[in-house]
Structure 1
C-alpha cells in the first residue's frame, strides 16, 4: 500500500502545520527512497529535475494534457487565478525564520515556498483550488530515512470540491502511483551509481 493514513503527515513536526492550518490534507504517500539523515536534498533535487510528465506513460501524458486543455477551455488557469492574484502566497504567511530559509528549487507549475533540512513545500493555485505539495524526510524505523509526499488543498467553493472529487480516482489509481514508482526507481538507479566509499565517508553514523 503506497498511500498512508492522514496521521502519517499530521503527526510529524512539520513547519507547514503552523503556516497552512486552513488547508486539508488530501493524501499522504510513502516513498521507498532509503537514505541517511543528510540525503533529503538529493530527493528534492530528483523531483525538481525529473521531466514529468513528458516521459511518463502515455495514459498519464494524455490525462495531463487533457487537464490543461480543459483548464484553457473553462479559464481555470487564466491570468489572475494563481498564486499572488486569486490567492495570497503562502510565503507571505511565513514567520521570520522561514522567510530567511531557502525557497527551494524551481518546480513548475508549482512555486517553491521553503526548503528545510527535512521538509520542502511548494504551492499552486488556479480557479478550482489552492494546493500545497509537501515533501518530507522521515525515519524509516530501521535506523535510516525515507521520503514521504503529501498533498494539501483548499478547494475554491463548490467548483473546487467538485473538481477534486472528479479527479480523485485518476490521481489515486493512475497519476500518483506512476509518479511514486518513477521517483523510487530513479532514486535506486542514482544510489547504484553513487561511490559507496565517498557516500559512507560523507554520511554521519546513524543514531536512530
Structure 2
C-alpha cells in the first residue's frame, strides 16, 4: 500500500483539489483493487461496506484508543479557538450541496462528512491538535480500480506541526497500511469474483 506522489494525485480529476486549495496535503496513499466488474462507484462501495470500508486491526484500535485516552487526559479533542474551528463545509457551493449524496455534517465515527459525491468523499475532524480532512476517492481504470486516501491538515496553532510529527511514524508505518489492507479485503468481500 504505497504512498503516492502528490503530483500523481493532483493529476486525478477530483473536486478536492480546488475545494481545499490553500490547505496542505499532508500525504496521500493508494491501493489498487481488482476490477471484477465495471462501473463500481465509491458510494456503492461505501454502502456495501455499511459506510465502514476501513476495518481497523487490533493494533490500530489499540493505537486509536491510546490516542483518545491521551486526548481526554490533556483536553486535546475539545473545540479549538473560534478563529480556527470553521468547517470546510462552509466552502461548499450550491452545486456541491446538490451533488452531495450525504448531508454535510453527518457523523462518520470520529469525523463529519463535508461531502460525498459518487466517487469522492471528504471527511473532517476539528480539535485542538489539528483541522484534518480525509479524502477517499475511487478511480476506475481499464484493468483495475485505484482507491486514493489523502490527508489534508490545517494548523490550529503552534502545536499542530509537533503533533503531526509525533503521530506520523504510527500513521505511516502501522495505521494507514493496515487500513488500506482492510479496504482491499472489504472490496474483495463485496465485489470479488463469484
Q: What's the TM-score bracket when you normalise by the shorter of the two chains? A: 0.7 to 0.9
TM-score of the aligned structures, taking structure 1 as reference length = 0.80
What per-residue deviation string (whole Å, max 9, x for no partner) do you get for residues 68-111 of structure 1?
Answer: 11111111112x339x9841111111111002222537421111
Which secondary structure does the structure 1 equivalent of 2:158 belong to?
A: helix
Counterpart residue number, 1:67: 67
- Provide, for residues 137-172 of structure 1, a one-character-per-residue CA deviation record: whole Å limited to 9, x for no partner: 2243x3443311111111223200000000000000
What aligned pairs does 1:1-208 form with structure 2 within 5 A after superposition?
2-35=2-35, 36-45=38-47, 46=49, 48-50=51-53, 52-53=55-56, 56-57=57-58, 59-78=59-78, 80-81=79-80, 86-104=84-102, 106-140=107-141, 142-192=142-192
Partners of 2:87 and 2:2 in 1: CA distance: 30
CA distance in 2 between counterparts of 1:152 and 1:12 reads 16
CA distance in 2, matches of 1:51, 1:40: 13
RCO higher in 1 or 2 (8 Å CA, sep ≥ 6)?
2
Matched residues in 1 for 2:9 and 2:186: separation?
A: 24
Aligned mates of 2:68, 2:43 — CA distance in 1: 30
Aligned partners of 2:111, 2:63: CA distance in 1, in Å?
18
- The whole-number CA distance in structure 1 between the counterparts of 2:60 and 2:150 is 19
Could you tell me which runs of 5 or more consecutive residues in structure 1 were left unpaired when the two chains were aligned. Answer: 197-208
Question: Between Structure 1 and Structure 2, whose CA radius of gyration is higher?
Answer: 1
* Residues 132, 153 of structure 2: 8 Å contact kept: yes
- Alignment correspondent of 1:199: none
**Count of aligned positions:** 188
Please list every run of 5 or more consecutive structure 2 residues that lacks an aligned counterpart in the other structure. Answer: none
CA contact (8 A) 2:55 2:182 kept: no
Q: TM-score, normalised by structure 2?
A: 0.85
C-alpha separation between the residues in 2 aligned to 1:175 and 1:15?
26
In the aligned structure 2, how far is the partner of 1:94 from the partner of 1:138? 22
